[in-house]
Amino acid sequence: IVDAAMNNLIRPSLYQAHHEIVPLLLDERPHKVVDVVGPVCETGDFLAKDRKLPDIQPGEYLAVTGAGAYGQALSSNYNLRPRIAEYLVDGGEVRTIYKGQTIEDIFQEFEI
């Protein structure tokens, strides 16, 4: 279970789009076939199925590549989940291209 969910990248759930998922810690751990799923309580909350990945440990980061315009533009606040930050990797440079939201950002949209 990863922190990102179907509300952050709907394409795999919606029509089985393929995005490479790469651990940022590259090492020689053995790989196994896994499903990469999110924390939303929905059967469609997955980013990938049947992928060969190393044994990822809590706190490790994964890069979901090729999201491009399909990430933030198609994301939602389903289940009151904040939109996540997005980064652009260009050669050896990493830049934040969308800062993401906090739960406070979402609550500011409501008038109660």
The question of whether 41 is a catalytic residue gets the answer: yes
CA–CA distance, 107 with 25 (Å, rounded to integer): 35
CA distance 25 to 34: 17
Distance CA 35, CA 37 (A): 6
The one catalytic residue among 26, 41, 69, 112: 41
Active site residues per annotation: 41
